A and B are shown apart, each in its own frame.
Chain A
Amino acid sequence: MSRRIIVPFGPQHPVLPEPIHLDLVLQDERVVEAIPSIGYIHRGLETLVAKREYPEYVYIAERTCGICSFIHGMTYCQAVEQVMNLEVPERALYLRTIWSEYSRMHSHLLWLGLFADAIGFENLFMASWRLRESVLDVLEETTGGRVIQGSCKVGGVRRDIPGETLDRMVGDLAGFERDFREIANVFLHDESIIARTRGVGVLSRGDAYHLGAMGPTARGSGVAIDLRKTGYAAYGKIHFKPVVETDGDCYARCAVRVKEVFSSIDIVRQAAAKIPEGEIEVKPKGNPNGECFSRAEQPRGELVHYVKGDGSRHLVRSRIRTPTLTNIPPLVKMLSGCELADVPVIVLSIDPCIGCMER
């Protein structure tokens, strides 16, 4: 039996856009154990509730993460609205759904690009990011921000999307879908991608469930958990099926995300067809008094925002639990037994968002 050595991975590493540290215990080229340590980008933003009034805290909630910022803001608003018993206008709920799905498309395209880069497929990285820019253009046009939107508020949304803009967005989706189909074919059928991802980092269905995997990481292992099915925002009125793959390897997780982009396109189309006219916000009266858990499906999995108010302008407590945190134990499981050269691909396959995780 050969000697065990420990190879440090991160916090600064070419494949990681964000810092996380793993101690990889190796025996020859095989990883015996992976020990994660986190905290490099912890800010402690939950305590800012004491310094910002509850309507202002939406901006902080959005800046938990710059990739799924809209969904963070929305989930926080949902929690406060539930505490205050606010009836959010139907049109605002549909707008939230549309922006959530655009966020998902931009997040998945971003991930697909990074994943291609981790495999060493630079051309595909560029192709994914080029296409992602068209999604960002829509977000910028409708909300004013490319990555931090600031369009959600307690009681509704801040901006409306005019009917003709919405029609144009739906029209443009056809071209987007055609372009994405080309990229999707490469991700799903290219030999070199299959060679790097099939059978790599396998997570069984049981492990995914018991270790608390969420989002595409869980769905890639055959666990059909999709929080959108709980029907928050306007998802209750839209028909879609959670995308599920059963192999549990990096290929399956990649396939889930590729297919979810198509599902997002479909959801936007349905929402645009069903969106009613009307108000986009209600004015909140008084202050939140009570507590609430609000959940939503981020591109990476289940996001939970907890808020507790005591009837003053400042909340007493905010607590955020993000999907990357719950996906770390499954990641450690996937890494044990893999080859050192596969570590970057496996780490990326859970779509780690450290900014979210450490807040």
Chain B
Amino acid sequence: MTHLSKSPWILHYDASSCNGCDIEVLACLSPLYDVERFGIINTGNPKHADVLVITGGINEQNREVVRNLYEQMPDPKVVVAVGICASTGGVFRECYNVVGGIDCIIPVDVYVPGCAARPESIIDGIVRALSILEEKKNMPAPGRATQGGEK
């Protein structure tokens, strides 16, 4: 484990969720689940974040917002799609304004099932994302591997 996976900061964005998964993501921060014991902090700033946690599917208006947030995050980064809506569109898949899951816009690393996803599974998903983050860190990424002094 390095400093990155010991203290990952997450950015939560509600794409088009019903709120169910959102409040469960927030419940993870509360004393019962307390993800801060893993060093996880919820930040509002994409430039501070390592893990992007998205709830809800993509629709026409938030498409650019999600892409924007993802691009603003520094490399390496991982994306966790929380709940069935973020994974596939869920019960709203057939709605006229829903495009689909998060993976139709940005690459997703971990899918967390459930409607609404339970805090236990969300924490599990984020912890899994951390090992992916670790792998990505060791992988030469374009634009990052060439920088000097990083060995």
By beta carbon, the residue of chain A nearest B57 is A43
Chain B's interface size range is: 35 or more
A interface, CB within 8 angstroms of B: 11-15, 17-19, 39-45, 47-48, 51, 59-60, 63-67, 69, 110, 113, 126, 129-130, 132-133, 136, 145-148, 353-356
Contact B59 A45 (CB under 8 A): no
By beta carbon, the residue of chain B nearest A15 is B44
Contact A14 B44 (CB under 8 A): yes
Q: Does B30 contact A (CB under 8 A)?
A: yes
Taking CB atoms, residues of chain B closer than 8 Å to A126 are: 30-31
Subset of 11 A-B contacts with CB under 8 Å: A12-B13, A14-B45, A17-B12, A19-B14, A41-B15, A41-B17, A66-B17, A66-B19, A66-B22, A69-B18, A129-B29
Complexed CA–CA distance, A315 and B22 (Å):
30
Q: Mark B76-107, 1 if CB is under 8 A from A, else 0.
A: 00000000000000011011111000000000
B interface, CB within 8 angstroms of A: 12-24, 26-27, 29-32, 43-46, 56-57, 59, 61-62, 65, 69, 91-92, 94-98, 115-116, 118
Taking CB atoms, residues of chain A closer than 8 Å to B98 are: 43-44
- Is chain B's interface secondary structure helix, strand, loop, or mixed overall? loop
Contact B92 A43 (CB under 8 A): yes
Taking CB atoms, residues of chain B closer than 8 Å to A13 are: 44
A335 to chain B, nearest CB (A): 20
Taking CB atoms, residues of chain A closer than 8 Å to B23 are: 17, 66-67, 110, 147
Complexed CA–CA distance, A44 and B115 (Å):
18
Known contacts A18-B14, A45-B92, A60-B91; A39 and B116 CB within 8 A of each other? no
Complexed CA–CA distance, A40 and B16 (Å):
7
- 9 closest Cβ pairs, A-B complex: A66-B20, A14-B44, A129-B30, A66-B19, A355-B19, A41-B16, A44-B97, A44-B95, A130-B31
Taking CB atoms, residues of chain A closer than 8 Å to B14 are: 17-19, 41, 354-355
Taking CB atoms, residues of chain A closer than 8 Å to B12 are: 17
By beta carbon, the residue of chain A nearest B90 is A63
By beta carbon, the residue of chain A nearest B44 is A14
Taking a contact as CB atoms closer than 8 A, the residue among A15, A51, A66 that contacts B18 in the complex is A66
By beta carbon, the residue of chain B nearest A60 is B91
Contact A42 B61 (CB under 8 A): yes
Contact B65 A69 (CB under 8 A): no
Taking CB atoms, residues of chain B closer than 8 Å to A132 are: 30
Complexed CA–CA distance, A168 and B18 (Å):
31
Known contacts A12-B69, A42-B16, A51-B94; A146 and B118 CB within 8 A of each other? yes
